[in-house]
Chain A
Amino acid sequence: MVDGKTASTYHLRVALFLGLIGVISWNDHGLAAATPSCKPPSFPPQTQLCSNGLSGYVNKRVLISKLLDTCQIVATDIAPKGDITYDKEVSAVRDFATFCATPGNCSDSATNDLRIKLGQVEGDLRSFAGGRAISIGTNKVKITYSTSVENFLQSSPDASDAMCVAVNDGGVSPPPKPPESSNTGAFAIRKNITDLPVNRDDPKFKGLDKGSISVNDDYVNTKLGVNVDIAAGYTFAPVVLGQSSQVSFTPFAYYHEQYVASKKASEDQQIYNIAAGFLSTWELTNLGIFQFAPKYVHAIQADGDIESANLYYTPPITVAGIGTAAKVPFTNGLVYYRFAPLLQVTYGDVSRASTKISPLSQGSFGWLGPNLSLYLYGAGPLEGFSYISSFVYLTDFAGQRIRVARYENSLNYSLSSDDTWSLQLKYVYGPDLDTLQQQKMLTLGLGLKY
């Protein structure tokens, strides 16, 4: 129970805390930007020779333009009327005589010099297409795989048919390595243990559910609620099995706290569970993904102990909307979704029971059932928002007769560009899946992933 003076001080601290979150959110995102309706093609930008700095695809428009600049050929030399285009530049380089014989092309005063300069440009292009490094500005670039200059110029200016490699003084450096995938050991913080193997450098990281720390203040009932839901683990590099399968191992620990203060201290809801275990993730081609997690849970306040073996099975469904994210119909590309069905099987033993973790009593238990999640992602003006809804329904197949139904929904807004922190509005209804202690709360707080 919180008294008047303490409550006002507490309320002030909560207001300052939420205000700070608001400032962080504003600074990181500012006003939501509108997405242009005509999104440009995803080829190298107009002013950049190579799509990734000194590597990636060659922007042929920029290459031709810069080579012409190098030979001091201005646009009006080729197109005196000012109607210069990429096609005209290419035509002038490939066949000067025919191009300049066409009325309206090539300025009269520059014709002889122009012929010599265009010949130099054509020579440079031939060298470049053939595999020699050339200097463009302060950079040296080289095509990784040679082709003919005719092929190079005939294909579309936006075609990605040549690539750049940075050239050092001492020789040719290889293309930059792509970002390391999640196949090296890494420490992680998540909400669900099944997400621990996904590395934070993995682009999939942004879509994962977050560990949460939240505080809820119910002004009507003057209740204080605190909820902490966080898992941490270290994933070792995966071991390859055969042609297409692999397995990875992740020792983990997690902490779950829920405290809701009631009008009577004896009716306070208190859940303090700490757990540790070992997760193995088996990706087997055409069979799906099997995740085994034996674990030990200690209910601190309830003074109970539970050991269990858990299996999470993801079937090999690859259609859009399950295997990949898909657009939600009729949202004009503003919202995407992905549905994630799992089968969960748990078999365990309550080695030390407590009345505070009823209905579980001492002895074994086994239950199985679907664990279904729906992920929604915002795009355009909704970018940064995500919504995760999960439903678990487990029925007993051994031991104690128990049915479990749990709903959990969270609306998230990223506070950082790498999605490490987010503002999270979460609603939970149903029993804790370890100790079956009842939970029902709406919280506003911070989500964290690392």
Chain B
Amino acid sequence: MPFTDTSAVEKVVYNVVINWLADQQNASDQEIQNNLDWTLSGTPPNGYNMQPQAYTKMCNEISTQIQKTLGRAVNLGVPWRNKHKNDSVNAFIAAVTIEIVNAKLTNIGKGAVTWSMAKQQAHIT
């Protein structure tokens, strides 16, 4: 069942990515937000020059964090990562959002949906 409220998803992704980059760069959130057009792999002053290992770490850690927050399985596999490793931060956030909106629920998420639907049904009957 896909998400319909993408703005909520995007806000979560936005916060997770901004927080990760701020921690990585020892910078403030505002500083990262001021540079949303920087590319992940480009060189300064227009990019973070992120090396492959750091990029892999970022994808793994943000996936874990987003999965915990939204209860959805987030799989950013190698082909997806190769496709988006040169994105700007803005474009990367959008791409992750699209990936999540089309993602499947984790078991916890499925349980939550089932419980909610059962509650609704009980209320109706």
Contacts and interface: CB of A to CB of B under 8 A. Distances in A.
Contacts of B87: 178
Contacts of A144: 6, 98
Interface stretch (A18-26, A77-85, A116-124, A283-291): A283-291
B7 interface: yes
Contact of A240 (B7, B49, B78, B95): B78
Contact of B53 (A155, A159, A161, A318): A318
Given A323-B57, A377-B43, A147 B6 contact: yes
Interface string B41-77: 1111111111111101100100000000000000001
Nearest to A52: B91
Given A161-B10, A204-B43, A317-B53, A323 B86 contact: no
B7 A203 contact: no
B54 A204 contact: no
A16 interface: no
Given A202-B86, A283-B52, A41 B33 contact: yes
B84 A324 contact: no
B67 to A, nearest CB: 15
A47 to B, nearest CB: 17
Given A160-B90, A320-B26, A246 B53 contact: no
Interface in B82-101: 82-87, 90-91, 93-95, 97-98, 101
A316 B53 contact: yes
A332 interface: no
B54 A325 contact: no
Nearest to A44: B90
A338 B34 CA distance: 21
A178 B83 contact: yes
Contact of B54 (A57, A178, A323): A323
Contact of B46 (A163, A180, A203): A203
Contacts of B29: none
B112 to A, nearest CB: 21
16 contacts: A39-B34, A42-B34, A56-B90, A145-B97, A147-B5, A160-B94, A162-B7, A182-B82, A201-B86, A204-B49, A204-B86, A238-B82, A240-B77, A245-B78, A285-B56, A338-B49
Given A203-B47, A314-B53, A379-B45, 9 more contacts: A145-B7, A178-B86, A183-B79, A204-B86, A244-B60, A283-B56, A289-B52, A314-B51, A336-B44
A-B complex: 5 closest residue pairs judged by Cβ atoms: A203-B42, A323-B54, A145-B6, A379-B45, A336-B44
Interface of A: 39, 41-43, 51, 56-57, 144-147, 151-152, 155, 159-163, 175, 178-183, 201-204, 206-207, 238, 240, 243-246, 283, 285, 288-289, 314, 316-318, 320, 322-326, 333, 336, 338, 375, 377-380, 383, 386
